[in-house]
Structure 1
């Protein structure tokens, strides 16, 4: 509904400061609608993609990060294929959080989201691409966390 121009016009045309308890709150709600509408635009999606690419590139400069991520993706893949919930294994809180982030790639139903199918697949993936995948997974994870 928030994507419909008619809805936004209706809200803006029928806004009357005398009918609301808090004009500031009303403006916050209108901005929320506009912000969420913007998130669905091609311009936002293109900028988000470019931002993720840049972040991914910068993260490749951290020595050992790609190897660490490959290890975690392989661990998650092993657990996934053996129907073991990552929350049930003995691992540090940080490792479980990384596995939680990685899990978003495998839980998504969008056929355009690439899912690794073997440890060889993970290990043969270019370091920069793997880190970009991880940045995308962080993005998916953070959206769900903020939507709760």
Structure 2
């Protein structure tokens, strides 16, 4: 197993979750994202939205909390660790778990072309009649590369 793959906790955390973990106010966590102290953060919000949907990689929180120097990991390595497998397609529920968001946001990202569909799932847990789209792994990788905050 890849040592960067983290299956025991959600890979991406909200700002409020990060502030709780670090025991710091939300505004301080946002400043740390902007100045690079938390080096792996993304805005996953839908295009055109005024509201930012910031997510922080759990490993960045660990580095920050331990006051260790920033990592030398490549974006490809981090994205692979966040996704956690090599399958070419992901279910919407997997993408929701990875991005720490709801299905509506994933649906809007698919509708806007930010994420690309890879066909449909054989069955939905909610209904056998309604098939949910699969998300192309490559589009999720590209999305995370494009949306990284520096």
TM-score w.r.t. structure 2 length?
A: 0.23
Considering fraction of residues, name the structure with more strand.
Answer: 2
TM-score w.r.t. structure 1 length?
A: 0.23
Considering fraction of residues, name the structure with more helix.
Answer: 1
